[in-house]
Amino acid sequence: MPSNKMLLEGLLFLVGEEGLSLEQLIKALNISAQECLNLLQELESDFQASHRALTLVCFGGLYKLVTKEEVHIVAKQFFENEKTAPLSSSALETLAIIAYKQPITRVEIEEIRGVGCEVMLKRLLAKDLIEEKGRKDSVGRPILYQVTRNFLDLFKLQSLDDLPDFSSIFSQENELFKLGSD
């Protein structure tokens, strides 16, 4: 059986930059407020006392894991270099979902793709192909994403109306998407 501290760390990792409130953590772990605060303090100490890349922060009543400053500097350089790198199929897939479904949250994108996309969103943000559109009016107020003017420029579109019809791309007649073909 995993420890509550392990579960706490895992939950905070999974929600990413959206974070979780103390109340959400208490409910998820089914523990008392004091026990949860103790676990948060232990987890924070674990991150500070080791050579780990992450640290625990609390901003606006939301607990989240973020990279330490040393990692942030290297990551910023990496993502700046990534601006000129070609887009992977995963990036194109994520970008297409955003273009057709915008404004859309990270969780909604992940439900469509079936895999996590936080890193992909950071790359697309760094390439200035997507931007934050605000926050969804729902629990946790998740960030909404939309494509940018640079997206339109890259794909030589006047507007999103110039995107191919979604149903024609993903129709069952389209050979690329037939399942079980040889």
Are residues 31 and 112 located together in one domain of the fold? no
Q: Model confidence at 167, in pLDDT bands (50, 70, 90)?
A: low
Q: 93 and 47, same structural domain?
A: no
- Quick one: 85 and 39 in the same domain? no
Is 87 inside a domain boundary? yes
Structural domain boundaries enclosing 161: 73-167
Domain end among 67, 95, 119: 67
Average pLDDT over residues 62-82: 82
**Residues 36-45: pLDDT tens digits?**
999 999 999 9
Long-range contacts of 26-33, Cβ-Cβ distance < 8 Å, separation of 24 or more: 29/4, 31/4
Give the number of domains in the chain.
2
Residues 36 and 92 in one domain: no
In a domain, 103, yes or no: yes
Based on the fold, state whether residues 80 and 34 are members of the same structural domain: no
Q: Kindly state whether residues 78 and 61 are assigned to the same domain.
A: no
| Higher-confidence position of 70 and 26 | 26
Q: Which CATH number does the domain housing residue 44 bear? A: 1.10.10.10
Q: What confidence tier does 110 reach under pLDDT thresholds 50, 70, 90?
A: very high
Shared-domain flag, residues 15 and 77:
no
Residue 98 falls inside a structural domain:
yes
Q: Which residues, 6+ apart, have CB-to-CB distance to 56 below 8 Å? A: 12, 40, 43, 44, 47, 63, 64, 65
The string of pLDDT tens digits covering residues 5-39 is: 999 999 999 888 788 999 999 999 999 999 999 99
In a domain, 178, yes or no: no
Of 67, 83, 115, the residue that ends a domain is 67
Report pLDDT digits (tens) over 143-152: 999 999 989 8
pLDDT value at residue 169: 58
175: in domain:
no
> Could you give the maximum distance between any two Cα atoms of the chain, in Å?
58
